[in-house]
Amino acid sequence: MVDAYEDPGTPDCRGGARYLWWLVARQPGRAAAGALLGTVWMVLMALTPYLLSRAIDDGLEPGDQAVLAGWSAALLGVGLFNSWVSIMRHRTMTRLRMDANFRSVKLVVGQATRLGATLSRRTGAGEVVTIGVGDVQTISQSLTVVGPGVGSAVAYAVVAGLLLSVSLPLAAVVLLGVPVIVVLVGPLMGRLRGAETEYRERQGVLTARIGDLAGGLRVLNGLGGKGLFADAFRRDSQRLRMQGYRVGSVTSWIQALGIGLPTVFLAVVTWLAARLAAQGAITIGELVSVYGYVAVLVAPVAFFVECGYQLSRGVVAARRVVRFLSLEPMETGRTSVDAPAEPSVLHDPRSGVRVAPGRLTALVGARPAESAAVVDRLGRYTASAATWGGVRLDAIALPQVRARILVADNEADLFAGTLRDLVSGRGDPDEETVAAAVRAAVADDVVLGLPDGLDSAVDAQGRSLSGGQRQRVRLVRALLADAEVLLAVEPTSALDAHTEAAVAARLRAARSGRTTVVTSTSPLVLDQVDTVYYLVDGKVAALGSHQELLDGEPGYRALVARDADMDDTDDVNDVNDVNDVDGTNIDEPDPDASSRPAAASDLDAEEAVR
């Protein structure tokens, strides 16, 4: 089987069937051994009735005990040998399937790693889970055709040849049997592929919804959107169930025909052979052999149907794998030039945003997804005409872009490990640098609240931390990366007002003289920035300082201005601040608190529910 550290090879991504063939071609010796052992196994099963007929005609009927004992010994020897062949066939096919399984898993995991931060932007989490859990297993199972499938075809031809020596009509019936079965089962295979494809698509969507629900249940509860989300999940689940019934209906017909047609086939041939024996056209031994041949043929014919069924499902699964493997992290452009030697302007022509070097810039929009889309284009995570210093970003060597421009997503993954490893990343910062970043992100209480400080273990995705703590830990990691350009998406959205104000002020100081972009609708953050871009429908509607836009843009003022009484807000913030320092999970956004603008909160709730 494929080694854990071995290169799985370059897959053939021109189609599902080609990918399956590539998996077989990667292990030609094992595939050939499986086909050979499967053929020998099936052929010896077909020869058993012949040996039995010889024992009856040459030994039992004439009463020759020696001949009868000889043919009986031959039957025993063939049976024992075929048992060993069956064991080796099964072992070989298991290795072949497992190799294909592990090879596909390595390819999928490698592709997910190669896509990196663009993975969530190129495909859904449900799609990846469905591929890794279900499709890879289906692909490996479909390779059964390599062993028993080949053996069934050869055994069918051998039995037809043996029947020719007994009776031409019987041989003709056997030879015509499989084409009839193909005609009857073939249309069902096409229906199965269509139903299976739609089922897999719906399954991916539902898996993604499960992930979203598990990750955002607390937020949905706070925003009052759990009921809407549950209703949407229920509808999708019902659609998946109905599609599963359609797949099951087609599958049941295929499996019923796989068992029923060979049985009917057996009955017809046996009836014909019995009539020939009654007419004296064939001997009793030949009658027994014909019955044995046809009984043996039930297995190859059933394998034909089963292999067709497995191949249909395998091709559907392989298409999904190929589609995932064909994704590219980013269009590299026609050329590869160096990045600007000095800090330069980042420009997104689509929105009109122009980020000046060395300044703190904010993107404000009623739809957070539109602001995040601008960040994705400026960070070269989606194809665009964005430029850096007048040069198209997609023309600059990607490693240079990644080394100097950092996109800090507020939902970026947090891997299990110590807090120090979590925030340090690939770097090895000293204690003073780490402490400065922790203070800048107002994460001192996070470190102090853990039993071993920075050396405390943190669960995957920071599950042992509250939402606000996770957000500040992500900010610490972003600051320690010390990128020339930092593009931060909603870096304070889960913080209470007091902590948010401190983060905004310290972030400005920590990034002084360096290019920094944040997306936010919080006046506490916007009051600290140099330039604010107000976006409407993803395009710049106005720009200026926070105060200038408050005075001159009614839409901006309605989006970010506080509508509640400041004294009540301060009381709420004092309580939140105390709870946050205690390390409890109170620093999540509270929909009833007035520390957020009403318009922004409503929009955030709508986006979360959607």
Which tens digits make up the pLDDT trace of 169-205? Answer: 777 777 776 667 667 766 776 676 667 767 766 766 6
pLDDT at 384 over 80: yes
Which one has a higher pLDDT value, 59 or 372? 372
pLDDT at 340 over 60: yes
Which one has a higher pLDDT value, 72 or 288? 72
Q: Which of 519, 561, 42, 541 is nearest to 307 (CA)?
A: 42
Per DSSP, the chain holds a count of helices (H) and strands (E) of 22, 12
Exposure of 405 by Cβ count < 10 A (0-12 exposed, 13-18 middle, 19+ buried)? buried
Which one has a higher pLDDT value, 47 or 19? 19
pLDDT at 600 over 50: no
Per-residue confidence (pLDDT) for residue 189, from 0 to 100: 67
pLDDT in tens, 210-240: 665 555 555 555 555 566 667 777 777 887 7
Which one has a higher pLDDT value, 302 or 585? 302
pLDDT at 568 over 70: no
Torsion (CA) 509, 510, 513, 515 in degrees, nearest 10: -120
- Determine the residue type at 391: V
Share of the chain above pLDDT 90, in %: 28
pLDDT at 333 over 60: no
User: Rounded to an integer, what distance in angstroms lies between the CA atom of residue 337 and that of residue 341?
Assistant: 11
Give the pLDDT band (50/70/90) at residue 2.
low
User: Rounded to an integer, what distance in angstroms lies between the CA atom of residue 102 and that of residue 108?
Assistant: 10
Alpha-carbon dihedral sign for residues 75, 81, 84, 86: negative
User: Rounded to an integer, what distance in angstroms lies between the CA atom of residue 169 and that of residue 164?
Assistant: 8
pLDDT at 66 over 80: yes
Phi, psi of 395 (to 5 degrees): -95, -10
Q: pTM of the entire structure?
A: 0.59
Least confident of 280-284, 349-353, 456-460: 280-284
* Angle made by CA atoms 414, 454, 471, in degrees to the nearest 5: 40
Give the pLDDT band (50/70/90) at residue 351.
very high
pLDDT in tens, 276-326: 888 888 777 777 777 777 777 777 777 777 777 788 888 888 888 898 888
Which one has a higher pLDDT value, 6 or 12? 12
User: Rounded to an integer, what distance in angstroms lies between the CA atom of residue 351 and that of residue 428?
Assistant: 37
Helix then strand then coil, in percent of the chain rounded to 5, is 70, 10, 25
